[in-house]
Structure 1
Amino acid sequence: MNPEAGQIWTAPRWALALLLALLGMLGPFSIDTYIPAFSGIARALEATPVQMQQTLSAYLFGFAFMNLFHGALADSFGRRPVVLWGIAVFTLASMGCALSESIASLVFFRAVQGLCSGAGWVVSRAVIRDMFPPEQAQKVMSQVTIYFGVAPAIAPVIGGWLFVHAGWHSIFWFLTGIGVLLWTANWRLLPETLHATHRQPFNVRNLMRGYWQLGASPRFLLLALASGIPFNGMFLYVLSAPAFLGEHLGLAPTQFFWFFLLTISGIMGGSYLSGRLAGRVAPKQQIRYGFTVMVLVSLLNVAANFLFTPRAGWALIPIAAFSFGWALMVPVVTLLVLDLHPERRGMASSLQAFIGSAANGFVAGAVAPLVMGSTRELALASLGMMSIGLVAWLVVKKRWPETGRSPTEAATPVVSSRA
């Protein structure tokens, strides 16, 4: 934590949480706003479905790849420069998308968008831990998740409205405007939160040492899996929404918003409770609560899909409840990841984001197409995603029992093996 944190930010804590959440919204807005215009863009640019899929794949590949480096750069050059440069390049790339007249040009600028849009999300988590002690950091992380949860709900609505009323180019001009506003806000408001004494030398040897230190740590990797993989138990349904909602549940496109409304409500509710429990319940206990909710809901979801014909009246509720459980535990696990190596919080955030985005990409490209044809297979796959995260956490809990203990518990020595 920055020893001068109290002097760097004197405004209310929620204001910083809102600023950081807006940074994290770049990713969801970059994906979800243009999805409703897929068919329109394909017709305008004479693109095939495969080429249109490349506009998404190029973005996701760039996003995952550069996530490896945003945090490392922030550990060496500071949080503020990485955020400002990331937003600036994103804004220029969005302008390039808006001006594209061929599918090749659009794919290129989408890749550039992906390379820089993750900077805010990765660095923002390091900023939180720079500025706040563990208990307050959990509250801020929960607030960020609440604000962040709004983006996937409103982005498709905005994108669809812009496409219908102003054409597909307007979607990327909208993203350009978002970039300008975010750059201005962060240039004026975001302080440099990395203390001068905490900066890491920027050279290949030091970077490789840091990546090896984190990548060779079983506890770090297991915690990253525990936070990132269960998300796909919910994300799988988002990726399969057209088949799940339209074909299996018989909902019209105008009724899809109920799915997103319930899911986002679950995320926001879990995040709110996570913040309320900070300092009152030991972190490992809160993680147990989150996984307990996800386990019970996943098992009930599988049983219900095998016993009953899926109906919208009940089939959406387990997904919302699952989202609640995930949001309840993920702020806590994220902070545990960042605190394993305090001197490399930016790099830790980068690697955690990379693991999560790589898992998302695998689920999007390989898992979802295989299981979206059956609600039973979707439910089983969702249970499987959650189980990977659960097993990872149980291994951490057994091998390093001091992980996630409250300050009172931490006063009692525990003999354990170390990463």
Structure 2
Amino acid sequence: MEISQVPLSHSGSQAKNAENASPLADVEKNEDGGTLHPDVSEPPYSIFSTKMKMWIIFLVSISALISPFGATTFYPALNVLAEKLDVSPAMVNISLTTYMIAQAIAPSIIAGMSDNSGRRLSFIVCFAIFIVANIGLALQTNYAALLVLRMVQATGSSASIALSVAVVADVATSAERGQYMGYATAGLLFGPAFGPTIGGVLAQYLGWRSIFWFLAIYAGVLLAMFTLLFPETCRNVVGNGSTLARGVNRSLVSYLQEQNFSGPPSPIDSNPPTATGKRGFNFPNPLGTLRILGEKESCIVLLYNGLFFTGMMTTTAAVPELFKSAYGLDELRVGLCYIALGTGSLISALTMGHVVDWNFRRHAKRLQMPIAKGKQQDLRHFPIELVRLQVVVPGHLIGTAALLMFGWSIKFNTHISLPEVALFFIGFGISTAFNITNTLLVDLHRNQPATATAAVNFVRCLMSAGGSAAIIPMCQAMNAGWAFTLIALIYVILVAAVFWIMRKGMAWREAEAKKLLGDDKRGELDSRNGHSKNVLVEAERPINETRYGSGETAKK
């Protein structure tokens, strides 16, 4: 594992060039307006080497497994638990609902803490809660305890998703964020592929309680790995990695990093730490998540993301009952049926990120926007919504068609290969849309990536909770074919939101920026510093707090 960094040097003027500094201030343009030359003296976005970044992404990827493992290893045992606890399958599905509700609320608290006090502490707290909950679930003997402990389990696991996405935002620029986001979420999407299979094997041969002992042991291994080997990445604590971590933010890797780095620290994104690089603890504030919901563009993206993701969660919740009724499968075989869904999700995560980054480079070239490796791009005049969502549309259409195929193949009791093919394309299509809209939200909220992803969890989990509870009664009332047709029809209408955001997104950002800055503030900056200085000052703000130029410029 390589822990090499790029030495930095700062003069008085260079210190102002934070990670969001505009490339317009750091390039030279030829007389014909063509070739652009980045200023190599600007500090890199992250001092971590490529190998070190991949190690960090690997750690957060396997940590993200605890959320889908916590949810999906439980699926093959649903029917067994219904018998053991003497309740109906629909009542056991309520435990999925309580899990989703807790998964919606917990990240808004923990993610806010991580954006201010660091990622390491948040990971450690999550793992500890998850371990305690799984020990309790392995020992519980009644339905009420199952519901309560599933909520505690979700509290410990759910924030890992928000934290994983936040770590990607800490170390990766917008131009490379697609592939890193894909790698980081590969673990999240690997869970649905093999979580139910692992749960099926454990339930079949060791009993359903062994599922929760397995999860407790896995979280214990993660706790040890993160305590020793995960460096602090939060930009509000260590900047681009050159500010030395202290206290709970310091790991063995951080210590080795200190031995290899001798340059001065980089600017911190906001609220600079003390000279020791140590920040005080900030009490978690979930209101930051609600503020993101109050922004027009972000709210529409969140509602789209949540509604579309609900389709996959309702499918996964319905599989045990539908496949048992249609094909008479036991717990182990039901678990194996999830491999197709998870494999589709995994392939999407490993491939579509590269497509997203390719589309970013294509538009950057068209607009003559320079891309310097390791330097954050100025997205004020860049159609980031169009760039990201163009790749969402094919995924949306594939996922919608696959839901129809799944429902009617179950209704007509076709050969099991047909619903399995449908599950693969549900995983691929919905995961593509989910990951890319997550990336867009991080682009819009670069200084609060964990809080932005917590908002994603808040919306999608509440919607998924309702969908998971309703899907089996829907299938019983109108059959599986019409139940999934109803969901698909909602998604046919929902695709209009994608094109709406692509068309209006930049204008909404401009309006939001004008509201935040105000005409008086902009005029003061123009008169005091001149237009070029104003561009630099604004570029140092988060994208959702920046003025994006006039309406005419935005259209260009």
TM-score band by shorter chain is: 0.7 to 0.9
Question: Residues 166-208 of structure 1: CA distance to partner in whole angstroms, max 9, x if unpaired?
Answer: 333322111110110011111122221113334679469x864
* Cα distance in 1, alignment partners of residues 127 and 234 from structure 2: 19
User: Quick check: 2:407–2:482 contact (8 Å CA) kept in 1?
Assistant: no
Identical aligned residues as a percent: 20
Identify the residue that residue 326 of structure 1 maps to in structure 2: 430
* Cα distance in 2, alignment partners of residues 91 and 306 from structure 1: 40
Identify the residue that residue 358 of structure 1 maps to in structure 2: 462
Q: 1:374 aligns with which of 456, 469, 479?
A: 479
Q: Does 1:397 align with 2:499?
A: no
- Cα distance 1:255–1:88, how it changes in 2: closer, same or farther (>3 A)? closer
- Cα distance 1:364–1:207, how it changes in 2: closer, same or farther (>3 A)? closer
Q: Does the residue aligned with 1:192 lie in a helix, a strand or coil?
A: coil
Identify the residue that residue 252 of structure 1 maps to in structure 2: 329
- Cα distance 1:346–1:54, how it changes in 2: closer, same or farther (>3 A)? same
Unaligned runs of 5+ in 2: 1-18, 21-42, 238-267, 272-280, 361-383, 510-547
Q: Does 1:235 align with 2:313?
A: yes
User: Quick check: 1:130–1:193 contact (8 Å CA) kept in 2?
Assistant: yes
Q: 1:311 aligns with which of 414, 439, 443?
A: 414
The within-5 A match list for 1:16-95 is: 16-42=56-82, 44=84, 52-95=92-135
Of structures 1 and 2, the larger Rg is shown by 2
Identify the residue that residue 408 of structure 1 maps to in structure 2: none
Q: Does 1:173 align with 2:213?
A: yes
Q: 2:156 aligns with which of 113, 116, 135?
A: 116
Q: Does the residue aligned with 2:112 lie in a helix, a strand or coil?
A: helix
Identify the residue that residue 347 of structure 1 maps to in structure 2: 451
- Cα distance 1:159–1:28, how it changes in 2: closer, same or farther (>3 A)? same
* Cα distance in 1, alignment partners of residues 491 and 335 from structure 2: 25
Identify the residue that residue 221 of structure 1 maps to in structure 2: 299
* Cα distance in 2, alignment partners of residues 155 and 18 from structure 1: 18
Identify the residue that residue 278 of structure 2 maps to in structure 1: none
Deviation at 1:259, TM superposition (A): 4.2
Q: Does the residue aligned with 1:135 lie in a helix, a strand or coil?
A: coil
* Cα distance in 2, alignment partners of residues 34 and 306 from structure 1: 26
- Cα distance 1:52–1:219, how it changes in 2: closer, same or farther (>3 A)? same
The within-5 A match list for 1:403-418 is: 415=552
- Cα distance 1:35–1:244, how it changes in 2: closer, same or farther (>3 A)? closer
Unaligned runs of 5+ in 1: 405-410
* Cα distance in 2, alignment partners of residues 310 and 168 from structure 1: 29
Structure 2 letter corresponding to 1:94:
N
> Which structure's residues are more often helix, by fraction?
1
Identify the residue that residue 392 of structure 2 maps to in structure 1: 290
Deviation at 1:352, TM superposition (A): 1.2
**Is 32-41 or 76-85 further displaced after alignment?**
32-41
Q: 1:277 aligns with which of 355, 358, 373?
A: 355
User: Quick check: 2:118–2:234 contact (8 Å CA) kept in 1?
Assistant: yes
* Cα distance in 1, alignment partners of residues 151 and 402 from structure 2: 40
Deviation at 1:297, TM superposition (A): 6.1
* Cα distance in 2, alignment partners of residues 398 and 300 from structure 1: 27
Deviation at 1:91, TM superposition (A): 0.8
* Cα distance in 1, alignment partners of residues 508 and 328 from structure 2: 44
* Cα distance in 2, alignment partners of residues 148 and 132 from structure 1: 19
* Cα distance in 2, alignment partners of residues 6 and 416 from structure 1: 31
Give the TM-score normalised by structure 1. 0.84
Deviation at 1:148, TM superposition (A): 2.7
Deviation at 1:30, TM superposition (A): 1.2
Give the alignment's Cα RMSD to 1 decimal.
Answer: 3.5
- Cα distance 1:73–1:156, how it changes in 2: closer, same or farther (>3 A)? same
User: Quick check: 1:274–1:328 contact (8 Å CA) kept in 2?
Assistant: yes
Q: Does 1:193 align with 2:271?
A: no
Deviation at 1:142, TM superposition (A): 0.9
